[in-house]
Amino acid sequence: MSQTEFFVPSHISQLYARAIVPNVPRTTNGRIVVFVLSHGLLDNIDAPMFRHIQQTLCTLSIASVAFDFHGNGRSTGTTSYGNYHDEADDIASLVQHLHSVGLPNTNHVHVIGILAHSKGASSMMLFATKYAYLCPPLLVNLSGRFWLAREITMRWTQENQRQLRETGKFLWRRYGAKPTKSNEIITGSKQQLVREYWISMSDMAERAGTDMGVVQMLPLHRTFVLNIMGSKDQIVPDDDVWEYDRLMRMAAPQADRVVTRIVPGAKHFWNKER
């Protein structure tokens, strides 16, 4: 197994990526097959889930590239709460780079699929409709949200909402473990403040105005979609994944182009399950 880290130029930043290639990778027509991995909101490729997925793919002799969206992890630039279309452009930049330049030490690769989590999954769907000519044969939607205008219960505190009404923005604090409802800074071993993030009224409006109904325009004549959600997901309701399923099946030329599965006991971040 070889692991390399590199940067990919995008439309507005430099995207940090990590490639893991098995000693004897699978190939098609002489090209190494590659899976692309996309993270969720304010996450990065060092999250345990993505390291585990890359290692698992490696055991299956499949190469993979995980990358940080701009403004996240080690990528340059800034991010925002509602920039799904910008993140779709990031995915396009990476896929185009892999097609034209390849991986470090090899220029012959074929992107066979994208696995994306949460916000990244919604961005992946936008990518696949906007850049249909770059869409790979398989899309894996892991805990992706459909109704972006619907906010998560208890995500924002009353103080957050007051500041949003009065000033048009608020500072959101994210923790490495379970956050407190009061959003106070925790210095103990169980909860650590990992990021402070400004959210504005325009960010929320941009998110709410993003129409995921465009999945009906996916190139399903040559692409398969696997929708996966955990039965104990407390972040994204299960009716989101079933709406994806319904619209995709309406547009798919054959029913087997779309598969949807609910995994018993699994949560949103897939950190306690196998």
Q: Tens of pLDDT along 30-40? A: 999 999 999 99
Percentage of the chain exceeding pLDDT 70? 90
pLDDT tens per residue across span 114-156: 999 999 999 999 999 999 999 999 999 999 999 999 876 567 8
pLDDT tens per residue across span 72-121: 999 999 999 999 999 999 999 999 999 999 998 887 899 999 999 999 99
pLDDT tens per residue across span 180-202: 433 333 334 455 666 788 899 99
Q: DSSP character for 265?
A: T
Residues contacting 125, CB < 8 A, separation 6+ = 139, 141, 144, 212, 214, 215, 218, 244
Q: Is residue 257 a contact partner of residue 223, using CB atoms and an 8 Å limit? A: yes
pLDDT exceeds 90 at position 241: yes
pLDDT exceeds 50 at position 178: no
Please name which of 106, 118, 138, 108 lies closest in space to residue 35, comparing C-alpha atoms: 138
pLDDT at position 185 = 34
pLDDT exceeds 70 at position 176: no
pLDDT at position 186 = 32
Average pLDDT over residues 204-211: 95
pLDDT at position 157 = 85
pLDDT exceeds 70 at position 238: yes
pLDDT at position 151 = 78
Mean pLDDT of the chain: 90
CA–CA gap between residue 8 and residue 76 (Å, rounded): 11
CA–CA gap between residue 178 and residue 194 (Å, rounded): 12
Q: DSSP character for 188?
A: S
pLDDT at position 168 = 94
